[in-house]
Amino acid sequence: MIHQYKNNGYNIVLDVNSGAIHVVDDVTYDMIAEYEKLQKDTVIENAAAKYPKIPRDEIREAYDEITSLKEDGALFTPDEYEGRVIDYTKRPTVIKAMCLNVAHACNLSCKYCFADEGLYFGKKAELMSLSVGKKALDFLIASSGNRRNLEVDFFGGEPTLNFDVVKELVAYGRSREEESGKKFRFTFTTNGLLLNDEIMEFANKEMDNVVLSIDGRKEIHDMMRPKHDGGPTYDTIVPKYQKFAKMREEAGKQYYVRGTYTRNNLDFAKDILHMADLGFHEISIEPVVAPPEEDYALKTEDIPVLEEQYDILAKEMVARYKTKDDFTFFHFMIDLEGGPCVYKRLSGCGSGTEYVSVIPNGDIFPCHQFVGKPDFKIGNVFTGIDREDIVTEFKGCNVYTREKCRSCFAKFYCSGGCSANAYNFTGNVRGVYDVGCALEKKRVECAIMIKAAQAAKDAQEAQES
C-alpha cells in the first residue's frame, strides 16, 4: 500500500508497510500512480505524452528508480503484519503506565471538561489518600512483569489540589525503584492556578514532563476556562507558565503548553502561534471532543477549515525552522528514524492493557477518559483486575480490527485512534470517530511535509557552506 499526496510544493510518497517516505519529481509521482496498474511501456508512454519536454531516456531512468525502490523493499511493500494479528490479540500484556487521578476536584469550570469539572460525575469532590496512592504504585510494580520503565501521570481534576500526596507518592515510588528493579517516569498536568515556586522546583527535580493547560489567545482561553465564579484565568497563569517553561528549558526538562480548540476558534493556528509568541517552544492543541448538541462541538462541515489551519501552521513551522522562533507542535512530531516498532504502532496508547487509570477510591479504569463510566471499571488496586473480559476487549483494539483503519495510509502513525472517542461516538471501543480520524490524517500529511521541507533546507544550507 502506498499513499501519494502533494503539499506545499512537495510530491510525497509514503510506502505504508515499510515506513519509507520519498519526495519525488512530477514525472516520477505520476508514474508511481500507474506503476502497479499498467505495463511498463504504457506507463512510460503516458508520462512522455504528459511531459513532452522531458527526454525519453530520463523518463525511463525515473521508471527504473521506481523499480529499484520496489526491489529494495521501500515501495509497494506487502503487508507482513496482518496475518499475525490473531496471535497479537491473544498476547500476554503487563501494565506499565498509570494515570493517577489524585484529585476528583477542580478549581476551574472549563466548559468542555470531559471530567465534569473534575468530579467525573461523582456527587462530591474527592482527594486520593496517601494509602490508596501507595497501593496503586505497588499494584503497578506488581503488574509490570519484566518491564523496567514505568510511567505515572498525576492527573485529576486538578492535581495541585492534592500536591502533598503527589510529593509523598513520588518519594515512595523512588524508594521502591532499587529493590523492584524499576525506573519511574513521573509527569503531571495542571491548570496553573495554584502553581508556585515550591511546586515548580519539585517538578523540575522529579517530573520528566509537565503539561500546562492553556487554550491560546486571552479571549479564547478565558471564554472556555473560567473560574467557578466565571472570572478569567489567563492573566494569572501565563506569567507562571512562562517562568516554569524557562526553568525547565534551562534544566533540559520537557514541558508542554497544551490547549483545546473548539468551534469558537476554528482559526486555532492563531492560538498556537500566540503561544509560540509568548515564548513557549513545546506546544500542543487538541480538537475538542464533545456531544454534537454542544454549541462549541466540532462538526463534519468544519473539517476543510480545520485542515487549512493545519496547513497554515505547518508552513509557518517550516518558515521558523532553525530560527529563534522555532517551536515543536505535538501532533506534527514524527520520528522517521527512531520511531517505535510495529507492535507498538498497532495498538497505540495501550489503554486497558498496558495503561490504566486509578481514581481516589482505588478503582481501576482502562484510561482517564473512561473514568466515571461504571461499566468500564475493571478492578481495584486492593483486589486486582476482576474484569478480564473488558481487558480482552481492549487487547483486540488495533488497526486491523478497525475496518476503516485496515486500508488507511496513516494506520501506523495514528494506531487506530482513541478508544474512548470511538466509544463515545459509535458505542464501540473498536469504532472510529470520523472527525478525529480526518484531522489525524491531515496532521500526518503535514508532519511528513515538514520533514521534507526541513531536509530541503538542511541540504541547501550544506550546499551553501
Partner 1 sequence: MKHVQTLNTKRLGCGECQT
What mask, x for binding partner 1 by CB under 8 A, covers residues 401 to 440? -----------x----------------------------
List the one residue from 343, 383, 384, 461 that touches partner 1 (CB under 8 A).
Answer: 343
Per CB under 8 A, which region of 167-175, 229-237, 301-309, 340-348 contacts partner 1?
340-348
Give the shortest CB-93-to-partner 1 separation in angstroms. Answer: 9
Is position 349 an interface residue for partner 1 (rule: CB under 8 A)?
Answer: yes
Per-residue binder mask for partner 1 (CB under 8 A), 1-30, x = binder: ----------------xxxxxxxxx-xx--
- Using CB under 8 A, pick the residue from 117, 126, 151, 158 that binds partner 1: 151
Write the DSSP assignment of 100-128 as a string of letters.
EEEEE--SB--TT-TTTTTTTT-SS-EE-
445 touches partner 1 by CB under 8 A: no
- Output 20 or 223, the one with its CB closest to partner 1: 20
- Angle CA(353)–CA(356)–CA(362) in degrees, nearest 5? 135
CA distance 375 to 187: 28
Contacting partner 1 (CB under 8 A), which of 33, 38, 74, 125? Answer: 74
Would you count residue 344 as binding partner 1 (CB under 8 A)? yes
Looking at beta carbons only, is 17 or 262 nearer to partner 1?
A: 17
Is residue 73 at the binding interface for partner 1, with CB under 8 A as the rule?
yes
> Least distance in Å: CB of 230 to partner 1?
36
* Residue 141 near partner 1 by CB under 8 A: no
Pick the stretch among 65-73, 228-236, 415-423, 433-441 that binds partner 1 (CB under 8 A): 65-73
Write the secondary structure of 16-55 as one string of H (helix), E (strand) and C (coil).
Answer: CCCCCEEEECHHHHHHHHHHCCCCHHHHHHHHHHHCCCCC
| Sole residue written with cell 482527594 | 127
Burial 34-59, CB ≥16 within 10 A → b, else e: ebeeeeeeebbebbbeebeeeeeeeb
Pairwise CA distance, residues 283 & 257, whole Å? 5
Answer yes or no: are the C-beta atoms of 28 and 59 closer than 8 Å.
no
Q: Is 176 a binder of partner 1 (CB under 8 A)?
A: no
Class of residue 114 by CB neighbours under 10 A (exposed 0-12, middle 13-18, buried 19+): middle
Instruction: Name the DSSP letter for residue 281.
Output: -
Task: Report the distance separating Cα 110 and Cα 288, nearest Å.
Answer: 12
SS3 363: strand
> Measured between alpha carbons, how far is 148 from 123 in angstroms, rounded to an integer?
38
- Total binding residues for partner 1 by CB under 8 A? 45
Q: Which stretch binds partner 1 (CB under 8 A): 60-68, 162-170, 306-314, 414-422?
A: 60-68
Segment lying near partner 1 (by CB under 8 A), choices 93-101, 132-140, 171-179, 292-300: 93-101
CA dist., res. 292 & res. 228, Å (int): 24
Q: Exactly one of 111, 147, 240, 258 binds partner 1 (CB under 8 A); which one?
A: 147
List of residues contacting partner 1 (CB under 8 A):
17-25, 27-28, 61-62, 65-66, 68-69, 73-74, 94, 96-97, 147-149, 151, 185, 336-338, 340-345, 349-350, 354-355, 412, 448, 451-452, 455
